[in-house]
Structure 1
Amino acid sequence: MPDRARIQFLYTGGTLGMVGSPRGLEPGADVRGEIAALLRDSGLDVSSGFSEFHRTIDSSNVTPADWQQMVDHLRRHRDEYDGFVILHGTNTLAHSAAGVSYALTDFGRPVVFTGAQVPFGMAGSDAPGNVLGAVEAVISGAFASVALFFDGVLLAGARATKVSALDMRGFASPHAEPLEWRSVSVREEPDPLARPQGWKNPLPYRGHDIAVITAVPGMSAERFRAMTTPRPSAVIFRTYGAGEGPGEEEGLPEAVGELVSGGTPVVVVSQSLRARVDLGRYAAGEFLRRAGAIGAEDMTFEAVYTKLMFLLSQGVDGQHMEKWLLTDLAGEVSAPRPAR
């Protein structure tokens, strides 16, 4: 990076920009002013720009169209800045970081998502520390990819998951170590976030109907069928442990198999925070493997959901979904086993 780094902040909304009201927290803080004062007092040698999203929203309302708006904005302003900080609500922060990661594997600029559990200006706010940490990560020169900074820790953008709405440590990366950047003054090759595959010239995100079903004791095949009628574009089945599910439930293996044979991919993720899905490890997961379901390895739920949305937007069909889902595009999966 040059001596004086040029950074743009993209404010999409979220807790860090909220103020108290009779209705509860709602948007209203002077985020631009807060950041200007923060940078002025920090002593960091940066110049900054500030842009508000096309609509500032609670992140609970973020959609794939919003991910595409972020991607388009970043590509449009790529050559004007050395890096970007995206200010985002925490509820879907990990989804957006993963979604943007898949679409920007060739971007060549650091992009750091951050947010806050407590708004600017409130006692105990973590917003100043998170914003300054994100800026320092961007100007470190240690990477040129998408990451997420929160509570002093930098995580790969497609590896993070939200683990708490109460503690300042709101995010974790269950299967990948935090990124080291503080001790790096000049970016070394290879970039710690870079992956050889990526996706060249991705098509825009489009909305697709992805059904998310959680296995619970006593669930019925009838309920599973009802939740997949009409037939969705893809199904994420949140099962137990390493991918075990209620295979003794009459009709459930057939219901999964009918979806797969009809072209709807069924992807199995674990409800456990730390797990690696292996549908051949236990007999209780074997029925899913026989039915043609895809084990999501050690990807987070956020990474799987956004990757399915990305791949469907690229026109990947059910026949080729396993190959691409298990291909590491943006650092989201650890050395996946070869597809069947």
Structure 2
Amino acid sequence: MRTHILYTGGTLGMVETPQGLAPGADLAGWLDRLLDGTEMAGTVEMTSFEHLIDSSNATPDDWRAIVEDLWAHHDSADAFVVLHGTDTMAYTSAALSYALTGFGKPVVMTGAQYPLGVVGTDAAPNVTGALRAATSGKVGGVAVFFGHKLLAGARVTKTSSWSYQGFDSPAVPALALTGAPWQWTPPAEGATGWPDPAPYRRHDVLVLDLVPGVTAARLAAALDPPPEAVVLRAFGTGNVPSEEPGLTDLLARTIASGVPIAVASQCVQAEVLLGHYEAGYALAQSGAIGAHDMTLEALYAKLVFLLCQGLSGAGLVEAMGRNIAGELTTDPDQPLTQ
């Protein structure tokens, strides 16, 4: 089995410079030495971004470049691993999940909290774990391997900037836990996929966090000029400060003007139920989209993905409620809009 590895940048392959950590390690040589004498020796090929990036600089243009590289090597490899910085890996894994539903081969992302040249780094266990997952024959679609766990790509969120257990999937179980042998959980079913998706490009999707005391005037300023879509991170199950003068009216006018508002929760583990409390009822009646149990990363990437497909209005709302790549748990008794 041949495995293609794409290195985009990130801490794993960084070295010390006078300006701080930056990409520059001999990753290919390190990987050859790591796999020497194992059953995977000689079965791995690697490509790299011409311009390696710290993942905090990643944009939808980089998502498109990753998709293009994977498709370019689709017929020459059986499995794929993407080495990526940890800061935005959850965004990229969600984006790839939507774009690669028709890819037909496993894609596993990983990275590291410490560079490979540091004693005690997590680079080696993460890379070898990702390789083992990708070649296991048990992975379909996109996944993330990190900290001895394999997680569904559209369900991942970064939970720590320092822990070796830096990622989790709060709404669903891990796909696998390492051990002797690995413990596997069957993936959730029901994703619809997306045939022949248009490539990623940048779209103006604004993410807003509500805080106690926020005013309608402050939100109005953030929404002027209007973005293409909004992710509103509300409280609890999708509640907003409904007694704040003018706030819910502003959000209703924004939706009526054609700007979709997707309401997420600020809780790491949550299910958005618009209208479950009076504090969220007005948003539900205005046509806001509830994020259900999607992570912020999956929600943001999904809005960008659907905008790239040319969707707007009712078509975008319908697609937001569709389980494209396993990013949400569908419940026919609980629509995403009221």
Q: Within 5 A, what are the aligned runs for 1:121-136?
A: 121-136=117-132
Question: How far 1:195 sits from its partner (Å)?
Answer: 4.2
1: CA distance between counterparts of 2:18 and 2:201?
A: 37
Displacement, 1:45? 5.8
Is the Cα contact below 8 Å between 1:140 and 1:181 reproduced in 2? no
State the distance in 1 between where 2:286 and 2:78 align.
48
- Paired residue type of 2:335: P
User: Where do residues 91-170 of structure 1 align in structure 2 (5 Å cutoff)?
Assistant: 91-170=87-166
TM-score, normalised on structure 1? 0.94
Give the match for residue 38 of structure 1.
Answer: 34
Of 77, 84, 94, the match for 1:81: 77
Shift of the alpha carbon at 1:22? 2.8
Q: Which moved more, 1:174-183 or 1:290-299?
A: 174-183
Q: Distance in 2 between matches of 1:20 and 1:56?
A: 15
Task: Find the counterpart in structure 2 of residue 278 from structure 1.
Answer: 273
Q: Is residue 300 from structure 1 mapped to residue 290 from structure 2 by the alignment?
A: no
Which residue in 2 is equivalent to 1:268?
A: 263
Structure 2 counterpart SS, 1:25: strand
Using the TM superposition, give the Cα deviation of residue 21 of structure 1 relative to its aligned residue in structure 2, in angstroms.
2.5
Q: Is the 8 A contact 2:292 2:328 kept in 1?
A: yes
Report the more deviating stretch, 103-112 or 47-56.
47-56
Contact 1:7/1:85, CA 8 A, preserved across alignment: yes
Equivalent residue in structure 2 for 1:338, among 330, 335, 338: 335
Give, in whole Å, the separation in 1 of the partners of 2:91 and 2:21.
Answer: 22
Task: Answer whether contact 1:158 1:303 (CA < 8 A) is retained.
Answer: yes
- Whether the aligned pair in 2 keeps the contact of 1:137 and 1:181 (CA below 8 Å) is no
Partner-residue secondary structure (3-state), 2:132: helix
1:142, 1:181 within 8 Å by CA — same for their partners in 2? no
Contact 1:112 1:138 in 2 (8 A): yes
Q: Secondary structure at the match of 1:148?
A: strand
| Residue 318 (structure 2) aligns with | 323
Please list every run of 5 or more consecutive structure 2 residues that lacks an aligned counterpart in the other structure: none
Asked if 1:222 is matched to 2:217, the reply is yes
CA contact (8 A) 1:103 1:202 kept: yes
Residue in 2 that maps onto 1:28: 24
The answer for unaligned runs of 5 or more in structure 1 is none
Number of residue equivalences: 333
Comparing 328-337 with 97-106, greater Cα deviation is found at 328-337
- Aligned-residue offset at 1:290: 1.9
**Distance in 2 between the 1:137 and 1:60 partners?**
26
Percent of aligned positions that are identical: 46
8 Å CA contact 1:194, 1:330 repeated in 2: no
Picking from 298, 306, 318, the partner of 1:311 is: 306
Q: Which 10-residue stretch deviates more, 166-175 or 283-292? A: 283-292
- In structure 2, relative to structure 1, the CA distance for the partners of 1:316 and 1:207 (3 Å cut) is same
Whole-angstrom distance in 2 between the partners of 1:46 and 1:30: 17
Contact in 2 for aligned 1:193/1:330 (Cα 8 Å) = no
CA deviations over 1:157-203 (Å, ceiling 9, x no partner): 000000000111110000010003879x9xx9xx8366441100001
Residue 276 of structure 1 aligns to a residue whose secondary structure is: coil
Indicate which of 250, 259, 268 corresponds to 2:245.
Answer: 250
1:23 CA displacement: 2.1
In 2, Cα distance between equivalents of 1:67 and 1:193:
24
Per-residue CA deviations over 1:121-159 (Å, capped at 9, x if unaligned) read 101100000000000001100023100000110000000
2:163 maps to a residue whose letter is: D
CA apart distance, 1:319: 2.2
- Aligned Cα root-mean-square deviation (Å): 2.0
SS of alignment partner, residue 248 of structure 1: coil
Counterpart-to-counterpart distance in 2, 1:323 and 1:24: 45
What SS does the aligned partner of 1:158 have?
helix
Distance in 1 separating the partners of 2:213 and 2:169: 31
Q: Distance in 2 between matches of 1:194 and 1:103?
A: 18
Q: TM-score, normalization: structure 2? A: 0.94
Q: Does 1:13 align with 2:2?
A: no
Q: For structure 1, which segment, 286-295 or 94-103, has the greater mean C-alpha deviation from structure 2 after superposition?
A: 286-295
